Amino acid sequence: MIKKIHFLWLALMSIVISSCKLDLLDNPNAVTTNNTDINYLASQIQVSYATHFNQVGDPGMRLTRMLNAGAAIYDNAVTPGGLDGTWTTAYAGILNDVKTLIPLAEQGEFFVHAGVARVVRASVLMNFVDIFGDVPYTEALDASNFNPKVDGGATVYTVALADLDKAIENFNAKSKSGLTVDLYFGGTIDNWIRTANTLKLKIYLNRKLIDAAGSKTGINTLIAGNKLISTTTQNFTFKYGSNQVNPDNRHPRYAGQYSPTGGGDYQSNAYMGLMYDKKDPRIRAYFYRQVTVNSKDVNEIRCITNQKPNHYAATDYYCLPTNVGYWGRDHLSNEGIPPDGLKRTAWGLYPAGGLYDNDAGRPVALVAGAAGAGIQPMLMSSFTDFMLAEAALTLGTNGDPKTLLESALRKSMADVRAFMLASAESSKITAFETSSNIVWADQVNNYVKAVLTAYDAAATTSAKLNVIATEYWFALYGNGIEAYNLYRRTGMPLNLQPALDPNPGSFIRSFYYPTAFVSRNVNAKQKANMTTPVFWDNNPASLFK
């Protein structure tokens, strides 16, 4: 896989070089219809989308307790200045490139290019509505208008839905050629159609609180069409390589943590603790423990001498989730950074391309594990079934919620397992499982049985939904945008770890606008706070913590 990704990146670079022309009348930094190569532009859109996905997902992982949020109160957890890059990637990059590409592609009958561009644009627009609420679209990307007004989130969602329908129309048209470089599906058009439909499923599910009937009809239509992502080979993922330089195409989570000094993200104590206690088979792939015994040194882990906060329940994890080396931080902990860079739990093999945890208890290094050849899990086959299970339970769409839950669980396990065994860590995994008498299939069956037993024991629809949402949350590791949507849509998983501060402020329902937007646009008004819900979220504030 590493060689394949390296080849694709080199191919992209060769397209860049071959498409250059020396014309002193052209701004070399501007993409125009006169100086662009649609193959290069299509490749650039694909690469930029991976960056966008990583950017929009990071705060969501921290807010939903997948990762530590390095702030003490919610109002500091997502800052306007910290979102400037996210805004620029979308508007100055992806959306501008898509606007340039589509008319050129459709005029030249390169319909696959147009379809891919529309899928990416629809997803970017959806993601921005999901994190910001109302955003510019109608007046955006107009070279003569430097002060575009925002459009309502519901309107932008409608635009995204129409884009997806048009993308499917593009994919079904007779095209002169496919993509020169397809970084997601290697030229399999059917998978792009399934991605478009699964994005439509996201739209309908998010809108269920404000239009239950419309969501039910839309989802049932998608089910009947049988063109959703449903197998591992159809997963919508961006695949990274292992090059450190020229270009550095490693997974950004790996690049940020695997170094001679370690450091990087703090994992969530509660997330790790729950997975450990539930004996989740995926835990060794998700997390890599640099030590296998928790520290007793207060200079390394300050909280070990502190009492559990009074507002924590007896069942809430605090400070040390286990005694076997899982070393993260509690929700909204903003302590200083001790010398623990080579001791804290790191991103593991999945999805960051790091180390598989075989109890070695050794520090991370510059080149270790899969060397960064990870993925961005944008839409996995399991996500489809989790969404359908939620819809079946809460909207009455076609399908049995329990059956869909079991299918989702097994697909998540299969997706992670397939990634593990296709990685550079495969032989290490086999050797460790053999020496430790670990049988993956048995672990999976035991886990699934326990979840289905809990589902059957749940006495109410709400309790059953919590089982589905909790398992979706575990399957979403690495995908913060869907975890954030899930939590605001359902208020679940229930009983997430509280903030350390008993008064952290209200949970963030949408982000502040970036500084780059409000400081340069006379029509832009910054939000008074981040408690304003996006258009599809009409849940009570009391649901969140």
Per-residue pLDDT reduced to its tens digit, 39-55 = 999 999 999 999 999 99
End-to-end CA distance of the chain: 41
The CA–CA distances, whole Å, from 522 to 92, 141, 142, 279 equal 18, 16, 15, 54
Q: Alpha-carbon distance 269 to 130, whole Å? A: 26
Residue 285 C-beta-side C-alpha neighbours within 13 Å: 30
Strand partners, 150: 136
How far is it, in rounded angstroms, from Cα 65 to Cα 403? 28
- 3-state class of 136 per DSSP? strand
Which contiguous run of DSSP H or E holds residue 377?
strand 375-379
Cis geometry, peptide bond prior to residue 351 (ω within 30 degrees of 0): yes
DSSP 182: -
H helices within 150-279, ranges in order?
153-172, 189-206, 212-225, 252-255, 269-277
Which residue type sits at 126? M
> Exposure of 24 by Cβ count < 10 A (0-12 exposed, 13-18 middle, 19+ buried)?
exposed
DSSP letter (8 states) at residue 76: G
Buried residues in 106-139 as b, exposed as e (16+ CB within 10 A): beeebbbbbbbbbbbbbbbbbbbbbbbbbbbbee
pLDDT by residue, tens only, the chain of 545 residues: 444 444 444 445 443 333 333 333 344 444 455 546 999 999 999 999 999 999 999 999 999 999 999 999 999 999 999 999 999 999 999 999 999 999 999 999 999 999 999 999 999 999 999 999 999 999 999 989 999 999 999 999 999 999 999 999 999 999 999 999 999 999 999 999 999 999 999 999 999 999 999 999 999 999 999 999 999 999 999 999 999 999 999 999 999 999 999 999 999 999 999 999 999 999 999 999 999 999 999 999 999 999 999 999 999 999 999 999 999 999 999 999 999 999 999 999 999 999 999 999 999 999 999 999 999 999 999 999 999 999 999 999 999 999 999 999 999 999 999 999 999 999 999 999 999 999 999 999 999 999 999 999 999 999 999 999 999 999 999 999 999 999 999 999 999 999 999 999 999 999 999 999 999 999 999 999 999 999 999 999 999 99
Which pLDDT tens digit goes with each residue over 462-507? 999 999 999 999 999 999 999 999 999 999 999 999 999 999 999 9
pLDDT of residue 424: 98
> pTM of the predicted model, to two decimals?
0.93
Residue type, position 413, single letter: M
Count of beta carbons in the 10 Å neighbourhood of residue 531? 16
On the question of a cis peptide bond just before residue 247, with omega within 30 degrees of 0, the verdict is yes
Q: Where are the beta strands (DSSP E) in 63-149?
A: 135-136
3-state secondary structure of 348: strand
Interior/surface letters 239-273, b for 16+ CB within 10 angstroms, e for the rest: bbbbbeeeeebbbbbbbebbeeebbbbbbbbbbbb
CA pair distance 75, 499, nearest whole angstrom: 13
Please give the C-alpha separations between residue 10 and each of 7, 41, 52, 464, in angstroms, as whole numbers: 5, 15, 21, 49
